[in-house]
Structure 1
């Protein structure tokens, strides 16, 4: 893992640990800091306007997928993962609308982010032909996102928030240090 991490970040000679089974597409749009660990079977497709930017001391769990674009003709925005952040195993990050994750945020397993939504207002046109809209997702610093949380396009979670396992965060701006939970998610209390 260390040798592959060094080769993938050449000529910058960074200390990273990338499992041999990790697949990275559009490597020219993949930027990585120091001391990053990407575990087995992760898949990263960086094809997008801003690519995939990973800070220092980041951990990406097994089987995690980061997909920045659904189409060659409509590139997405990309993802920025802050320093000291940890993504659990089996996560999915659809970042066509852009995802920004702050520093020192931790996530459980099976977390999914969907920074794009399909338009469906017209009844005379197939949903798949109505296009998409993108607002993006922003997660602050020092947040804890529990297992199996789903976060949808347009959500802003500010610093210090905790999101309970299994929650579906479908809309809104959440104030700092909120404890969020439920389906759909709402503020339960303050930390």
Structure 2
């Protein structure tokens, strides 16, 4: 009953959003569904799918989260969906003006995580986030040397395909994560010296063990 009520309450915002931001021929399929408690403000959004409800924002919940938590998407730059996606309740996404956030097919972020994109963050296909994670390609504040030159430029983050990110992980600017990896809970990832098909864990994170695969 509660789920059906949530769907019904989502209809007005969902219809408005699709016809406001997508081409008419795509909007009539309602590929993007937005839960009623979401706060969304975007400048440019693109999705490659015409499938009904392929992208769901703010519906998924986890037991540990605050039930009053809201999903917030501030997209002053560009957000690109390259297939299906679900963005869990309580997730916060910020895309700075001039930046690009790209979400590959079958993107999933469970709840209460944050993505702060100031330059470029791109995800491949089959990405699975747990809760309370942070991804940021910027320090958000500038640091200068003695001559006034900035020393902490923003740097893009690139995720390969089929990556599982455990709970409470932090992914910092300049990180490149290869295909087939699992990132252990509470890890801090920075850099690009990681092996494909490996368990990445620790502070700072390292590739600890090769794996064959993992199951979605």
Q: Which runs of 5+ in 1 are unaligned?
A: 70-74
Tell me, what secondary structure is at the counterpart of 1:133?
A: coil
- Number of the residue aligned with 2:66: none
- Number of the residue aligned with 2:64: none
- What is the rounded CA distance, in whole Å, between the counterparts of 1:76 and 1:68 in structure 2? 8
- What is the rounded CA distance, in whole Å, between the counterparts of 1:177 and 1:31 in structure 2? 30
Runs of 4 or more above 6 Å deviation: none
Q: Of the candidates 106, 128, 139, which is equivalent to residue 128 of structure 2?
A: 106
Q: Of the candidates 21, 34, 38, which is equivalent to residue 22 of structure 1?
A: 38
Tell me, what secondary structure is at the counterpart of 2:76?
A: coil
- Whether 1:122 and 2:155 are equivalent positions in the alignment is no
- Number of the residue aligned with 1:179: 199
**Is contact 2:144–2:151 with CA below 8 Å preserved after alignment?**
no
- What is the rounded CA distance, in whole Å, between the counterparts of 1:92 and 1:124 in structure 2? 34
Q: Which runs of 5+ in 2 are unaligned?
A: 1-6, 60-69, 212-216
- Number of the residue aligned with 1:147: 167
- Number of the residue aligned with 1:46: 75
- Superposed displacement of residue 123, structure 1: 5.0
- Number of the residue aligned with 1:67: 94
**Is contact 2:184–2:199 with CA below 8 Å preserved after alignment?**
yes
- Superposed displacement of residue 46, structure 1: 1.2
Tell me, what secondary structure is at the counterpart of 1:30?
A: strand
- Number of the residue aligned with 1:9: 18
Alignment RMSD (CA, Å): 2.1
Map 1:72-83 to 2 at 5 A. 75-83=97-105
**Is contact 2:35–2:57 with CA below 8 Å preserved after alignment?**
yes
Tell me, what secondary structure is at the counterpart of 2:131?
A: coil
- What is the rounded CA distance, in whole Å, between the counterparts of 1:62 and 1:55 in structure 2? 21
Q: Which has the higher helix share?
A: 2
Q: How many residue pairs were aligned?
A: 180
* CA offset digits 1:19-56 (Å, max 9, x no partner): 11212213x412244411111621111112xx011232
Query: CA 1:16–1:119 in 2, change beyond 3 Å: closer, same or farther?
Result: closer
- Number of the residue aligned with 2:46: 31
Query: CA 1:132–1:78 in 2, change beyond 3 Å: closer, same or farther?
Result: farther
